[in-house]
Structure 1
Amino acid sequence: MPNARKPLAGRRLHFIGIGGCGMSGLALVARELGAHITGSDAKQTIYTESLARHGVSGVVVGHDIVNVPEAPAEVVFSSAVRPENIERAEARRRGLGEVHRSGLLTEFTALHETVAVGGAHGKSSTAALLAHVLTSCGKDPSYVVGALLRPPGVHAAAGAGGTLVIEADESDKSLLNYQVHTAVVTNVDLDHVGDSGAYHDISDVAKVLGEFATRAKTTIVSAQAAEHLAPFVSEMTVVRPGLIDCEPMRFCLRGENYEVNQPGEHQLHNAALVVEVALTRGCTPDDIRAALLSFPGLARRFELRGRTAAGARVYDDYAHHPVEVDSALAAARQVARGGRVLAVFQPHLFSRTQQFQGGFLDVLASADRAWVEPVYPARENPEVWTHVAEQLAVDVADRAPQMQMSPGRADLARLLRDEATDADVIMLIGAGDVNTLAEDLVG
């Protein structure tokens, strides 16, 4: 370790794909720990903009061999950056070291007493809320979370309090490499089937999350997660918040009442886990209460983007699994207070759409009207998945008139601007670029 205060001092780290949420967070923390940071991404993102605001200047748009620094240096990459990437290939040619993002995060966990939040849904929201609460309570944690806090917050920081809060992603099982003091599991569900083929059923997920939990000194889980983890984890604290009738944003835990400022029952369960962890870290109930109410929320997590000219509220949510879509729509129904919920859903990945299509359409049926956009392909080739697109259109047509395929962004924007009233809520849902529709709706 170069020195106790700046353990990464002297290291030159070049992040390929620095515009992603996880990579940009690692870059911020590595910079604060003393490393010299450069990076590149195919396009500018909200995360590259955040890096620039916080003093990381060596970021370029576009991949090119000239971006790769001279030795001694290391390149940091995620699973989305393939070996044939021009900058990775150039780094190998020069003999530079390569570090997977999970490897760098593993290094961070060795430097701190780490609280890692795992689970299929709610990792970003729970980890970000925990980081905010600990910060507000004066614990000065380090943290790296996978979504951008709404201003004035950031999604990563190197604090001096000795605690590190991270997300523990089960998709590639890298969470098993981390040195974890406290494991938090929000829930157990099947995801990432098409992404990596790592899991065949929910029991596979439970085994991995169970191994993650048993490697930690302390395990704190939701009641839903406890049911799945019981065969694999002998000791765990199960958090069961008491929900309060007619007060949908308040709950009781350990004899104390708490309130959240984000709608949706799932937020109560996330917050209860945060309260439990914060209490173990020496935070007082009064300080926790104040911190919960000052949480700014996350970008693209039930984020209010504004109102249409007619007054309809427009929200954006990153949900891309049926359970998450269901939670987003339930939260929308809560804030609509009798108005209609108009949903626009953009499926993310053809493989995930194929796996969960029936579930997506079932939960979308809870909206008063829903429009389904074409699948956002991300890294998949649309020509290989034509059959999924065709079947999606057929199944959506079967649910008309309440549900239909989008007529196209411009036409859909006009339709929503004309149809939505000041009592309605418009929900833009998906992990692709459906959020950009807000720019055409908010007046």
Structure 2
Amino acid sequence: MGLLEPVELVRPGDLGAVHLIAVGGSGMNGVASMFLDLGLRVSGSDRSDSAYLRGLAARGADVHVGHRAEQLGDAQTVVVSSAIREDNPELAEARRRGLRVLHRSAALGSLMLGRRGVAIAGTHGKTTTTAMVVGALVGAGLDPSYVIGGAFTGTKSGGHLGSGDVMVVEADESDGSFLQYPAQVAVVTNVDPDHLSNWGTAQAYADGFERFATNPDVAVLVVSADDPGAVELTAAVRRRALDGDGRVPEIVTFGQAVDADVRITGATFAGTGSSFRLTRGGTGGPLTLDVPGAYNVANAAAAYAVLTWLGVDDQTAREQLSAYAGTNRRFQLVGTVDGVRVFDDYAHHPTEVAHTLRAARTAVQGQPGGGRVVAVLQPHLYSRTRDHWREFADAAALADEAVVMDVCGDREDPIPGVTGALVADAVPAGTAHVTYEPDWDSAAPVVAGLARRGDVVVTLGCGDVTKVAPLIVDALARRSDLSVHTEGSPAPQADAPEGEG
């Protein structure tokens, strides 16, 4: 679909019956859930069954597995994601009938009308930051509306229509859809070039974030003071103010930088958690997290900045952030067998893979026998692998054992010469021991054969590698002839918009 331009938003009550193609993706699922909450007739389809799909059916949506033209029924509006091609039979039928066809972002934008919108963007960390803000608002006694690209751990939906006046959304930059949202609060966690098959150049990608940050609806920009791309964004927005180039928002920065408005100090990490202090002006204090990594400390600081700007008091904001329990597929513990812990993580950009593996390194410290990090990496998209194979290899080098699977192409056609082997062969000598395993069915037994007591195994990617994690747990149990201690199941398919929905 390429880059999108904003369209005029239609109020939900004027949409009529809505059919969502790829409704099983967590992002689309959230929109569908909110339409159901509003009392709209909702139908949808997805290429495979999932807990998300079954959850919608239980609430009264007419859902289907597979795509067929007749499944549109009497829909008046059809909602699609960027992953849906024009030859999809349902989309083709909607075009033939002349139905209203909306991108998911326009449908989500319509739900934000009349509410205080918070749009959380960034190359990395937007799902977690969105979930942190939402969880803290709920815990503070408010009832926000929200759509998140990953369901809260233990739930089957990433969307909710609340009674409060705040609506929080995860704003995806991959296709430019983040420009569609009428948000008062714009959050940028970081700017790290990605999705260049859509944006073309790193500069165009950065310019897209500047456009997002200076949308006329934006009253405040919450932005990292540590990430180089975000720092450049802040400078660009401030130059606009100096040049008198249109209306610019208030800027609130967060991070470890000494001049950050919300400042992180004293961060320490142990196991799968952290402790640190957040201060803003003359207020602030300690905060602990039960999710790992320095990147989650930064996400919490961004969330704190949003919460306090919205009027949540300092102590309540810190207490509620400390209660954050995670979202599906973000360093999610799938099971433990014979001292081997298996986690699943959505990381699909080299920076995210590196962050996750550093967090895994902290998680194995102090394990009996000195635990190792075993990474199971499935590069996602041929274009991303073509653009970042060296960076993927450098990230994989942070593991002790790296099992590299073949590329998950999802919506893309193969690119000659771009395979998982490109990544596996580039892992620097003397770092991780690398196994290239292009056979999907062989990945779990290969990993089970490598893992040993005290290890942390992490499956990485936003494709179907998520289905490998429970298979590794099963393979470990068969190897050891042991019962499995299961902590939960990862999301059943890739989160939108990287996957189908």
Query: Same fold, TM exceeding 0.5?
Result: yes
Measure the CA separation in 1 of the matches of 2:442 and 2:175.
Answer: 39
The amino acid of 2:224's aligned partner reads: S
Deviations 1:161-211 (A, max 9, x none): 1101011212222222221101111001100013x2x1401x322222122
The partner residue of 1:239 within 254, 262, 266 is 254
Q: Partner residue of 1:3?
A: none
Cα distance, 1:139 vs structure 2: 1.5
Distance 1:409 1:86, change over 3 A: closer
Q: Partner residue of 1:340?
A: 372
What secondary structure sits across from 1:233 in the alignment?
helix
Misfit runs of 4+, over 6 Å:
397-401
What secondary structure sits across from 2:237 in the alignment?
coil
Q: Partner residue of 2:214?
A: 214
Measure the CA separation in 1 of the matches of 2:315 and 2:156.
Answer: 22
The amino acid of 1:186's aligned partner reads: T
Question: In the alignment, is residue 112 of structure 1 matched against residue 135 of structure 2?
Answer: no
What secondary structure sits across from 2:426 in the alignment?
helix
Within-5 A mapping of 1:3-82: 8=13, 11-53=16-58, 55-70=59-74, 73-82=76-85
What secondary structure sits across from 1:230 in the alignment?
helix
Question: In the alignment, is residue 150 of structure 1 matched against residue 153 of structure 2?
Answer: yes
Q: TM-score, normalization: structure 2?
A: 0.81
- Asked if the contact 2:121/2:188 (under 8 Å) is kept, the reply is yes
After TM superposition, the structure 1 stretch with the greater mean CA deviation from structure 2, 10-19 or 125-134, is: 10-19
Q: Partner residue of 2:433?
A: 402
What secondary structure sits across from 1:335 in the alignment?
helix
> Structure 2: where are the runs of 5+ without partners?
1-10, 239-249, 256-262, 474-483, 485-501
Measure the CA separation in 1 of the matches of 2:416 and 2:149.
Answer: 28
Distance 1:289 1:35, change over 3 A: same
The amino acid of 2:234's aligned partner reads: A
Q: Partner residue of 1:421?
A: 452
The amino acid of 1:377's aligned partner reads: G
Cα distance, 1:409 vs structure 2: 4.7
What secondary structure sits across from 1:327 in the alignment?
helix
Q: Partner residue of 1:270?
A: 299
Measure the CA separation in 1 of the matches of 2:395 and 2:136.
Answer: 32
The partner residue of 1:177 within 172, 175, 180 is 180
The partner residue of 1:307 within 332, 336, 358 is 336
Aligned length: 431
Question: In the alignment, is residue 251 of structure 1 matched against residue 276 of structure 2?
Answer: yes
What secondary structure sits across from 2:342 in the alignment?
strand
Within-5 A mapping of 1:426-437: 426-437=457-468
Distance 1:245 1:431, change over 3 A: closer
Percent of aligned positions that are identical: 37
Q: Partner residue of 1:317?
A: 345
After TM superposition, the structure 1 stretch with the greater mean CA deviation from structure 2, 178-187 or 103-112, is: 103-112
Cα distance, 1:107 vs structure 2: 1.2
Q: TM-score, normalization: structure 1?
A: 0.91
Q: Partner residue of 1:229?
A: 233
Q: Partner residue of 2:201?
A: 200
Distance 1:332 1:398, change over 3 A: closer
The amino acid of 1:15's aligned partner reads: L
Distance 1:147 1:159, change over 3 A: same
Q: Partner residue of 1:362?
A: 394
After TM superposition, the structure 1 stretch with the greater mean CA deviation from structure 2, 258-267 or 397-406, is: 397-406
- Asked if the contact 1:21/1:147 (under 8 Å) is kept, the reply is yes
Cα distance, 1:151 vs structure 2: 1.5
Distance 1:205 1:94, change over 3 A: closer
Alignment RMSD, CA only? 2.2
- Asked if the contact 2:378/2:461 (under 8 Å) is kept, the reply is yes
> Structure 1: where are the runs of 5+ without partners?
1-5
- Asked if the contact 1:131/1:141 (under 8 Å) is kept, the reply is yes
After TM superposition, the structure 1 stretch with the greater mean CA deviation from structure 2, 91-100 or 427-436, is: 91-100
Cα distance, 1:295 vs structure 2: 2.2
